[in-house]
Amino acid sequence: MISYGFVLHEGAFCRSVFNLLDLIVVCVALVSFVLQNQTISAVKILRVLRVLRPLRAINRAKGLKHVVQCMIIAIKSIGNIVLVTFLLEFMFAVIGVQLFKGKFYSCTDISKHVEEDCK
């Protein structure tokens, strides 16, 4: 951290997402340790973030880090496909509602026997 800097240099510590994750986990642990005796709800929320501790292993294992990076790229691509699919389905749903409006009407009131009474 000292030779490359904290943020500004190209190889700086905070330029890597995995290093930021490590920093967050360590900060949460330190804040939780310092405010251990107080019953502040924010501290309880920070303790929940301790679940992120096993994720620090990702930065240590190069193969696992590569797999996680590939999964993130794949999820971004899949997200774009899901968005386009949702938009297409929404367009067809709007067209279907406009074409079939009122044609599949059914009366749910048992006492009414004629469709005009039900409306």
Same domain, 25 and 70: no
Annotate 4-30 with three-state secondary structure: CCCCCCCCCHHHCHHHHHHHHHHHHHH
Which of 14-23, 61-70, 84-93 is modeled with the greatest confidence? 84-93
pLDDT score of 23 more than 90: no
Same domain, 49 and 74: no
Looking at the structure of the chain, the number of domains it has is 2
Same domain, 66 and 99: yes
- Region 81-102: mean pLDDT is 94
pLDDT score of 33 more than 70: yes
CA distance 119 to 113: 11
Same domain, 2 and 47: yes
Q: Does residue 114 lie in a domain region?
A: no
According to the model, what pLDDT value does residue 45 have? 67
Q: To which residue do tokens 């590939």 refer?
A: 70
- Percent of residues, the chain, with pLDDT higher than 90: 24
Same domain, 53 and 14: yes
Q: Does residue 13 lie in a domain region?
A: yes
Residue 12 identity (one-letter amino acid): A
pLDDT score of 114 more than 80: no
8 Å CB contact between 26 and 53: no
Same domain, 51 and 4: yes
Q: Per-residue pLDDT tens for 42-80?
A: 666 666 666 766 777 777 788 888 998 899 999 999 999
State the residue range of the domain holding 21.
1-57
